[in-house]
Chains A and B, each alone.
Chain A
Amino acid sequence: MSQSQPATRPLAPAPKMSAASLALMPVHFIMGLADKPLRALQKAAGIGGMATFFLAPNMLIFSIFVLLPIIINIVYSLTGGTAIFLNERTFVGTDQYAHIFNCSNYLDPRSCQEDAFWTAVGNTFWFVVIQVTLLIVCSLITALILNRDLMARSFWRAVFFFPVLLSPVVVGLIWRWILQRQGLLNYILYPFGHDPVTWLSDRTVAFAAAVGVSIWAHMGFYTLILLAGLQAIPKDLYEAAEMDGTRAMRVFRRITLPLLMPNLLVVVVLALIKAVQVFDEVYVLTGGGPGTATQFLTQYIYETGFVSQPRNAGLAAAASILMGLVLVVLTLIQLGISKRNENKGKR
């Protein structure tokens, strides 16, 4: 068998190659046409100039759609009125921020002038705390299980990864369909003498559903990162522990957890950053309701700036800058952790 292989091997990839190159032919043709003018450009600008040329398109799009918005967002937050274009807006200084922070009692969102913002902040805070905690616990358990000597491990890994790829709208609709009155959950509970209820019309249940659904949708992603971390732990440590007859719980506390800590910290901060911005799947699932029970910060920004009449772009910009500050702090923490991990790896 092994002797016949060298003869057949060169033949096998040939048809695949030609099919691929055939499909790429028009692309090659266009890119080839670009060569002549670009040679002229290279002659004029030099090799260093070509670097600018390669960087330019990305930087241009980037400046217009990312950098510029960051800068003018600050200007927006200092203006008032209902106009969209900056030159038509009136400068109001820090009025928008003063409006947001105008509270008679800082512990009670209802006492604030802009109570919708503080309700959203409160909801987001509790969402972040509960969702991130449960998300990390679920992901860690799953990663630990997937790291065992399992049959068809890549299949099981894929199982938990599946919802990550689904769009937030699809996720929201799937769960709305399950939690509705004639839905699957009521059907499952029916034999236990539970009368059908409209789950999402209850404030607590709707909030719990928002937490649960977002965990369902995202845990596969964090499981993957944790699993990669677990697989990087040297096996001989476990073998040594086994030889010493160390108990499983102790192995976990003394070997797994400390060595996984860098990955765990990164995952926690990533999950925090994601959770602060929670919007789409919950918006499709509950629409922020019932009442304001599942209204979060991004939805507040979206509705203040684009849905409410009259639109209040200044207030939305001010709120988004406050949210941006929280995210910047979280990201800096994450970068700090990654840097420390890298340095540790070097040593």
Chain B
Amino acid sequence: MSRVTQFIFRRRGGKGWHWTDIATWVWLIGGLIIMFGPAVWLALSSFKTPAALAEFPPSILPYVSQQATVQGYDKPLTLFNATMPDGSTRVLAEVRRVGTVAQMVDPKAPAEIIKVNINQRTPVRSVSFSTENYVQPFLHFDFFRYLWNSVFVTVTATVITLVVNSMAAFALSKYEFKGRNAAMLVILATLMVPLSVILVPLYSIISTLGLFNNLWGVILPTVATPTGVFILRQYMLTIPDELIDAARMDKASEWQIYWRIVVPLTAPALAVLAIFSVVWRWNDFLWPLIVLSRRELYTLQVGLNIYSGELNVQWHFILAMTVVTMIPVVLVFIFLQRFITTGIAGTGLK
């Protein structure tokens, strides 16, 4: 145990607390709160009822006021802990409120009406996760459609990206041909041209091809990523050429060399690119916003933005759907974060 404490409180130099040790831990704990806090707060809020969301000051956990059916009243009544004039507390149900006075009844003896000042009572509440926020959007809005569209775009784009980029990287790393360096240079040069610079002409090309309001119009422009070609080519350069020559002597076709030898050996780099691609495509926003104008084609990101921009924002649904949108990325974070961080540290590409 003492070794654990020693390990936790290990400090610079080991002699007393240096101010930098304190600063380090303040920064780290502060970072923990600021980086995770907002997302946790959003997730907790997404389980609250609309009434609880409108409350100020808000509670941390989602609470629901308890109600009870009382004999003689049609609707269920809200329960309160009321402080009586003699100092004792009783659980009472509120019938109606007149100004600052609440008329209440004892659920066990509903005949007698007790008048209580509203400052003398607090609602009986219990922690309750309201799952309706999650169920309703799927039933009454098109969120299931949006989810499906997002999954379709992400999976299709990632598969095409992997195949097309690895083929190009194979050609650029394992063949000698005229114009190879030129091709590589052109691919790298387009890293300079982000989407926001070519919005207008890209839109016109998509329209000409009849891909406006079509999920393929979202997928195709994104799949020939220069980043992907670059990562895969760098990795394939490390595969020894002797391996390929040996396969050729064994009468393997070029396609078999690509598919049976090079692709399996490039698996680590392909995995990194696949993770990147899933996160990129899942998070894409501006381009789908331009290409998709029909509701049934929206991806989750576009749908969320449209709903959150409406006049009477239904925050309880928006929050729940934001959490749903976050789930794949959080899963990637939990299980695959290590691959991404080493990928970024190694290549400097996002």
Determine whether the beta carbon of A167 is less than 8 Å from that of B31: no
Are A85 and B208 CB-contacts (below 8 A) given A52-B177, A57-B167, A61-B223? yes
Cβ A73 vs Cβ B57 within 8 A: no
C-alpha gap A42/B253 in the complex (Å): 8
Q: Mark B51-71, 1 if CB is under 8 A from A, else 0.
A: 001111110000000000000
Is chain A's interface secondary structure helix, strand, loop, or mixed overall? helix
Q: Mark A142-175, 1 if CB is under 8 A from B, else 0.
A: 1001001111001011111111111111100111
Q: Kindly list chain A residues whose C-beta atoms are within 8 Å of the C-beta of B204.
A: 72, 76, 84-86, 313
Distance in angstroms between the alpha carbons of A168 and B301 in the assembled complex: 9
Question: Measured between alpha carbons, how far is A54 from B257 in the docked complex, in Å?
Answer: 12
Kindly identify, within residues 64 to 120 of chain A, every residue whose CB is under 8 Å from any CB belonging to chain B. Answer: 64-70, 72-73, 76, 84-86
Tally chain A residues at the interface, Cβ within 8 Å. 101
Determine which of B283, B286, B340, B345 lies in contact with A302 in the assembled complex, contact meaning CB atoms within 8 Å: B286
Set of chain A residues within 8 Å of B332, measured between Cβ atoms: 165
Q: Answer whether A177 and B315 are a contact pair too, CB < 8 Å, given A35-B253, A58-B224, A158-B341.
A: yes
Task: Chain B residues near A85: list those with CB within 8 A.
Answer: 204, 207-208
Q: Is A203 an interface residue (CB 8 A)?
A: no
Q: Mark B310-335, 1 if CB is under 8 A from A, else 0.
A: 00000100110010011001101100
Q: Is the CB of B192 within 8 A of A320?
A: no
| CB atoms of A184 and B326 under 8 A apart | no
Measured CB to CB, the closest approach of chain A to B315, in angstroms, equals: 7
> Does A66 contact B190, Cβ atoms closer than 8 Å?
yes
Evaluate whether A48 and B341 lie within 8 angstroms (CB atoms) in the complex, with A70-B198, A72-B204, A142-B27 already known.
Answer: no
Q: Residue of A at shortest CB range from B304?
A: A169
Question: Once the chains bind, are B10 and A156 in contact (CB under 8 Å)?
Answer: no
CB–CB A61/B224 < 8 A: yes
Tell me the complex Cα distance, A61–B332, Å.
Answer: 28
Choose the segment among A5-13, A127-135, A219-227 that binds chain B (4+ C-beta atoms closer than 8 Å). A219-227
Binds A, one of B35-43, B80-88, B110-118: B35-43
| A59→B290 contact, CB < 8 A | no
Q: How distant is the Cα of A62 from the Cα of B332 in the complex, in angstroms?
A: 28
Residue interface bits A211-245, CB-to-B below 8 A is 1, else 0: 00000100011001101100000000000000000
Q: Is B24 an interface residue when CB atoms closer than 8 A count as contact?
A: yes
Nearest-neighbor residue (CB-CB) of A183 within chain B:
B58
The number of chain B residues with a CB under 8 A from chain A is: 95
Q: Is B247 located at the chain interface by the 8 A CB criterion?
A: no
Q: Please pick, from B205, B229, B329, the residue contacting A64 in the complex, using a CB distance under 8 A.
A: B205
Shortest Cβ distance from B27 into A: residue: A145
Task: Please tell me if A264 contacts chain B, counting CB pairs below 8 Å.
Answer: no
Closest to A317 in B: B200
B175 contact set on A, CB distance < 8 A: 47-48, 50-51, 54
- Distance in angstroms from B48 CB to nearest chain A CB is 11
Q: Is the CB of B322 within 8 A of A174?
A: yes
- Contact status A158-B337, CB under 8 Å: yes
Determine the chain B residues whose CB is within 8 A of the CB of A150 once the complex forms: 24, 28
A178 contacts B by Cβ under 8 Å: yes
Question: In B274-312, which residues have CB < 8 Å from any A CB?
Answer: 279, 282-283, 285-286, 290, 301, 304-305, 308-309
Residues on B with C-beta less than 8 A from A61 are: 164, 220-221, 223-224
Please give the distance in Å from B268's CB to the nearest CB on chain A.
14
How distant is A335 from chain B, measured CB to nearest CB, in Å? 9
Query: Are A177 and B168 in contact, with the CB atoms below 8 A?
Result: no
With a CB–CB cut-off of 8 A, which chain A residues contact B350?
A: 164, 221
Q: Does A248 contact B (CB under 8 A)?
A: yes
**In this assembly, does B20 line the interface, its C-beta being within 8 Å of a C-beta of chain A?**
yes
Task: Say whether A31 faces chain B, with CB atoms less than 8 Å apart.
Answer: yes
Determine whether the beta carbon of B207 is less than 8 Å from that of A55: no
Contacts of B20 in A (CB 8 A): 248
A38 interface residue per 8 A CB criterion: yes
A190, B57: Cβ atoms closer than 8 Å: yes
B97 at interface (Cβ–Cβ under 8 A)? no
Which among A141, A145, A167, A327 is the interface contact of B285 at CB below 8 angstroms? A167
Q: What are 21 A-B contacts with C-beta separation under 8 Å? A: A31-B259, A35-B259, A38-B255, A39-B253, A50-B255, A59-B168, A59-B224, A61-B164, A73-B201, A86-B204, A151-B10, A159-B31, A165-B279, A165-B337, A166-B283, A166-B326, A167-B283, A170-B326, A301-B196, A321-B197, A328-B192
A contacts, CB < 8 Å to B: 31, 34-35, 38-39, 42, 47-48, 50-52, 54-55, 57-59, 61-62, 64-70, 72-73, 76, 84-86, 141-142, 145, 148-151, 154, 156-170, 173-178, 181-184, 186-187, 190, 196, 216, 220-221, 224-225, 227-228, 248, 266, 270, 273, 277, 279-280, 284, 287, 297-298, 301-302, 305-306, 313, 316-317, 320-321, 323-324, 327-328, 331-332
Given contacts A70-B198, A85-B207, A160-B31, 10 further A-B contacts (CB under 8 A): A31-B259, A66-B198, A76-B204, A84-B203, A150-B28, A169-B283, A266-B348, A277-B194, A280-B286, A284-B308
